[in-house]
Amino acid sequence: MRPNPRMLLRHTLVVVTFVVGALLSSCATTGEVTPFEPLVGGEPVAVSLVTTADIPLSGLPRLEISATAAEVNARWEVEGVSCLIAQATASRVGSVIEIQLHRGGNPLANCVAARVGYQYMARVTGLAQGRFEVRLVDVFADQPAVAIGRKSVVVGAVFVVD
């Protein structure tokens, strides 16, 4: 007994519909999507970046934005492909600071394809005391920029002790 081609097609379409729906819903959960509104007219500010590779992959991605005296810090831990290089830029409009992390493959590296855990620690210093909204944006290779997250933090004053 041969299977009916129409019946096979009908069952295949039902299964494909469920699989595509599950994939789309897992990619677009409202809790993880951060709309990206680029900072317009920002003044460049100094930012430093320290990259650490080979961190444990469990629990990634993680983002922590914090502030101390005269500075804000953004630590992003994420899984990526091997041999990535990164640099950071930052700009400020009023009390909003946007840190852009520019990542891409290292053209000079001879790498084996692998998944690697990265930690990116960006630091903006020299800030006055006050409340700031800090935004972290990822610009990966030639892809459109993606908002990773944002947080309102309070920068403390620097006290000089004689």
For the chain, give the mean pLDDT.
Answer: 83
Q: What is the band of 94 on the pLDDT scale with cuts at 50, 70, 90?
A: very high
Please state the rounded mean pLDDT for residues 81-95. 95
Residue 156 burial (CB < 10 Å; 0-12/13-18/19+)? middle
CB 159 within 8 A of CB 140: no
CB 112 within 8 A of CB 149: no
Q: Which amino acid is at 92?
A: R
Please state the rounded mean pLDDT for residues 12-27. 38
Q: What is the pTM of this model?
A: 0.75
Residue 60 burial (CB < 10 Å; 0-12/13-18/19+)? middle
pLDDT (0 to 100) of residue 20? 34
In order of 54, 100, 127, the CA distances from 83 in angstroms are 11, 19, 33
> Is the per-residue pLDDT at 54 higher than 70?
yes
DSSP assignment letter at 80:
E
- Gyration radius of the chain over CA positions: 22
Instruction: Report the distance separating Cα 131 and Cα 69, nearest Å.
Output: 12
Instruction: Report the distance separating Cα 27 and Cα 149, nearest Å.
Output: 16
3-class SS shares of the chain: helix, strand, coil, % to 5 = 15, 50, 35
pLDDT (0 to 100) of residue 39? 84
CB 77 within 8 A of CB 62: yes
